[in-house]
Amino acid sequence: MIVDDRLFVEERLPAVAVAPPLAWQVLVIDDEPDVHQLTRMVLRGLRFDGLGIEVISGYTGKDACAIMAQTTGIAVLLLDVVMETDQAGLEVVRYIREELKNGFVRIILRTGQAGQAPEPEVISQYDINDYREKTELTSQKLITAVTTALRAYRDLRTIENLALNLKKERESLKRAQAVAHFGNWEWECNTNRIVFSDEMLAIGGLDRPSSSSELSIFLNCIHPEDRVRVGHVVSGMTVLGGERSDLECRIVRPNGEVRMVHLVCENHPGDAPGTCYVLGTVHDITSTREVEDRLKIVTSVFGGAMEEVHEHMRIATKVLENAIEGVVVTDAKGIIQSVNPAFVRITGHEAVEVIGNPLRSLHGTHTDQDLRDSLWKSLMEDGVWRGEVWNRKKNGEAYPQWETIIVIRDRAGQVANFISIFHDLTEIRASQKELHFKTYHDTLTGLPNRDLFVDRLNQAVVNAQRNNGKVLVIFLGLDYFKKINNSLGHKLGDQLLKDVSTRLRTFIREGDTLSRLAGDSFGFIMREIHNTKDAVFVAQKIGNALAEPFIIDEHKLFLTASTGITLFPDDGQEGSTLINNADMALNRAKVTGRDTCTFYKATMGEQANQRLKMEKNMRQGLERGEFVLFYQPKVSLVTGRVVGMEALVRWRQPDAGMVSPGEFIPVAEETGLILPLGEWILRTACQQNRIWRDAGFDRLRMAVNLSVRQFRQRDLFDRVRLILQETGLPPPLLELEITESMVMDNVESVIVTLTRLRSLGLFIAVDDFGTGYSSLSYLKRFPIHTLKIDQSFVRDLTLDSDDAAIINAIIAMAKSLKLNVVAEGVETEEQLNFLRLEGCDEMQGYFFGKPMSAEEFTDLLKSGRRLKDS
Ligand code: C2E
Ligand code: CA
Ligand code: CA
């Protein structure tokens, strides 16, 4: 038997939530409860940058201060200026800006009436984003105001992050330099403050200067003859805005010792706009120069006294032996004569392997002809060349090196030797490259991050504009990923994301981009797309690729994904518009039932309004009695008799006809309307069952669905008890259905709630079982009576052996826990036969009966119809 792991996940992996922010936090402070409700309603559908809105409520200025002090991530504050409860709104604003020093949160003031608007000085002093009269804040305007504020907040945060990244980048560069024994300093142009690294102090022979040192401290170390030149380069960086320049100069230590250094200056933007840093990297090349000089002397004194030559040779050799730079000496034809130990260490070539070969043989193909020409020219004209070249190590690996080549001439002025002195730049380069990579990629999957995605999209749009091309943007969100993450642990979740990204990568062709946008969402930019049909085809193919189960640590995981699609130029002209569109479409796909692919439509902006309209209609509908209950029979697979029914709500809208619960229940859930509606459903279902009982059908159990929100109601127990009392239905004739996902949330309190409900004498069923990754050990602890196998497994039962195996496992497990098993959505005789063979207790589905009105159900009962074949 293949056992699906979803059913047998033990508790060994605790769910530690270190989730990134999931929504923008908007704090609403107002003393009128209505305002909160209204705001919540309006902002519910709003999405910005791929995230939804979380509304936090407070009723007094004190609340505002306390919440702001405790919560760092609040993006927008909607603040009532005049409240009856306590301090004026402006006092709150002052507290936030001045005492909490929170300059990020965007503040929108709401004034009661005209004339309460704050003074312009106050607005600018406290950086107030917006103020509106309450009556003026219609839903559209509120959405606009909040979106504008969110944009400002995000930009502020982005700037802060950018500054932080730059700071980090500078730090790592400095670390890399320290490793390579490079000194550095950092000069803040606008304050003139300079900071030296320890290596820099060592090179300059300096003590650590006081904290308020200025650039002049560095310039004073420079040899007087070089000082003007250096000063020019450093200050020139800030004035001319150059990014990088380098030179060689001398540093004079306090004890008079002169060091030759190679100085590289780089210009980095500062944290605040208009400021900058100059970073100086200082490499002590005295020993290199000494080698050069000594060798020059050696050759120049070739005709001199032999003793002197020997002495110089001895010193030169010693320096060569110990230099950290690689040194190669060639003859006039460029044939290698000798190399030093550092050469061997850096390149991996042994001395014997290279001596006798041309120096050129070490240079890889990386050295191009232009470079060779210019190198040769400066060697012949100036006797020296310096620059960066790529060389090859023995193992074939190419690496960048900083190389100095000098020409040694004999007394007759003929070239006698070339000496190449070099050091390996790989480490520094690598750390710079890594930094760059990290800034633009997601560390877990190695995919481009959102920033890079946005960049690439803008680029793709520009290119497409030029070539009249199309750009397809697909956002893909993994359904229920958070649940997997929470129930199976973050380590497994991470692995799953990696595996998903590996599969998604296969869809990427050259020039396309795949990016991880956020926790469980990915983005594609594709260019070779010609029409919407292709686009949908691609999106579906991608979705299907994830349908194959993922196997991780012996877990077999089934994933589905929702996708949102948008196309340039059809749906938008700009990168940002396309991103918003794709986001909206993805959101829509998730709302309309996941595992779907949705194309962006221009009408989506109206979505929020439509929701509002639906809510209003539902409220009216509830008053006008437009809701009715239908009942779907549940049949025993043993006796073939009807043993109960499930109450399913229907909405008969006078002008729109029947609206399906799949459409309105989610809205009711979001708006809270589910509470009165759910109460009505429960009462009506109990009343109806009481009627049937009185008519002699006295063993039918009525199943009623409880929504998440209802289930979390604090007084649920009292409400249910009251309804049972009022209707006089014996509690064992009632069964409450809750979904698997509801049970998985906050297990301890769920156990308490269920145990209390159970104590009334009613029964509890777990609905849609098999979709929610619950674990056997959890289930054991719940006082439940029935498992309802989700329709999705029953549907493909006869086609898909996996589904058959899952059903088999669920039934086996349920039996071991002595639970009643109901199969939902049974439509065919084959399904029925399979389920019966497996030992399923009851079934519900179109095969026996669709949901029907109370009258029809009564007729069914009276007819005494039984399941065929039993
Ligand atoms: P559910 O609780 O899983 O209800 C079963 C759904 O499957 C019902 O859809 C039912 O009509 C449908 N169904 C039953 N047998 C078959 C079959 O053989 N084939 C197919 N294809 N479908 C079958 P319905 O009534 O549209 O309800 C959809 C969902 O809306 C329900 O799923 C439930 O989550 C929610 N809902 C419905 N009524 C209520 C209610 O009174 N209260 C609450 N809280 N939710 C409700
Ligand atoms: Ca149900
Ligand atoms: Ca169900």
Interval 19-64: pLDDT, tens: 335 788 999 988 888 788 878 877 877 888 878 888 888 888 888 8
* Structure confidence at residue 549 (pLDDT): 85
- Residue 681's pLDDT band (cuts 50, 70, 90): very high
d(CA 554, CA 520): 22
Query: Which mutation among 671, 705, 736, 771 tests ligand 1's pocket best, with the greatest number of atoms within 8 A of CB?
Result: 705
Which DSSP symbol is given to 840? -
Closest ligand 1 atom to 737 CA:
2
Report the Cα 93 to chain-centroid distance in Å.
32
pLDDT tens digits along 489-525? 888 889 999 999 999 998 888 889 999 998 889 999 9
d(CA 294, CA 300): 10
Predicted confidence (pLDDT) at residue 6 exceeds the cutoff of 60: no
Q: Which helix (H) or strand (E) holds 328?
A: strand 326-331
Q: Which of the given ranges, 125-134, 317-326, 336-345, 755-764, has the highest pLDDT on average?
A: 755-764
* Structure confidence at residue 421 (pLDDT): 84
* Structure confidence at residue 487 (pLDDT): 76
Residues 389 and 401: beta-carbon distance below 8 Å: yes
3-class state of residue 459 by DSSP:
helix
Q: How far is the CA of 629 from the centre of ligand 3 (A)?
A: 16
What is the amino acid identity at position 525? I
Predicted confidence (pLDDT) at residue 362 exceeds the cutoff of 80: no
Give the closest residue to 285 by CA, choosing from 232, 346, 327. 327
Ligand nearest the Cα of residue 677 is 1
3-class state of residue 103 by DSSP:
coil
Q: Strand pairing of 763-769 and 471-478?
A: unpaired
Q: What percentage of the chain carries pLDDT values higher than 90? A: 25
* Structure confidence at residue 730 (pLDDT): 96
Q: Does the Cβ of 688 fall within 6 Å of ligand 1?
A: no
Q: How far is the CA of 802 from the centre of ligand 3 (A)?
A: 19
Backbone angles phi, psi at 448, to 5 degrees: -55, 145
- Within 10 A of 33 (CB to CB), how many other CB atoms are there? 10
Q: How far is the CA of 646 from the centre of ligand 2 (A)?
A: 7
Predicted TM-score (pTM) of the model is 0.43
812-850 burial: b if 16+ Cβ within 10 Å, else e: bbbeeeebbbbbbbbeeeebbebbbebebbbbbbebbbe
Closest ligand 1 atom to 630 CA:
25
Residues 791 and 825: beta-carbon distance below 8 Å: yes
Higher model confidence: residue 302 or residue 800? 800
What is the amino acid identity at position 383? G
- Signed CA dihedral, 350, 354, 355, 359: sign only: negative
Q: Kindly state the average pLDDT of the residues 435-445.
A: 82
- Signed CA dihedral, 444, 445, 448, 449: sign only: negative
Q: How far is CA 831 from CA 166, 449, 791, 813, in A?
A: 62, 46, 11, 20
Q: How far is the CA of 232 from the centre of ligand 3 (A)?
A: 77
Q: Does the Cβ of 649 fall within 6 Å of ligand 1?
A: yes
Which residue owns the Cα nearest ligand 1 atom 6? 825
Backbone angles phi, psi at 521, to 5 degrees: -130, 145
Q: Which of the given ranges, 64-73, 746-755, 823-832, has the highest pLDDT on average?
A: 823-832
Closest ligand 1 atom to 669 CA:
44
d(CA 308, CA 311): 5
Higher model confidence: residue 236 or residue 293? 236
3-class state of residue 839 by DSSP:
coil
Question: Can you spell out the DSSP letters for 531-585?
Answer: SHHHHHHHHHHHHHHTTSPEEETTEEE---EEEEEEEETTT-SSHHHHHHHHHHH
Burial label for 524, CB within 10 Å (0-12, 13-18, 19+), is buried
Q: Does the Cβ of 768 fall within 6 Å of ligand 1?
A: yes
- Residue 86's pLDDT band (cuts 50, 70, 90): low
* Structure confidence at residue 174 (pLDDT): 66
Predicted confidence (pLDDT) at residue 365 exceeds the cutoff of 60: no
d(CA 17, CA 519): 13
Predicted confidence (pLDDT) at residue 847 exceeds the cutoff of 70: yes
Ligand nearest the Cα of residue 685 is 1
d(CA 591, CA 587): 6
Residues 58 and 23: beta-carbon distance below 8 Å: no
Q: What percentage of the chain carries pLDDT values higher than 70? A: 84
**Mean of per-residue pLDDT scores for the chain:** 82
- Signed CA dihedral, 551, 552, 558, 559: sign only: negative
Q: How far is the CA of 705 from the centre of ligand 2 (A)?
A: 5
d(CA 235, CA 40): 55
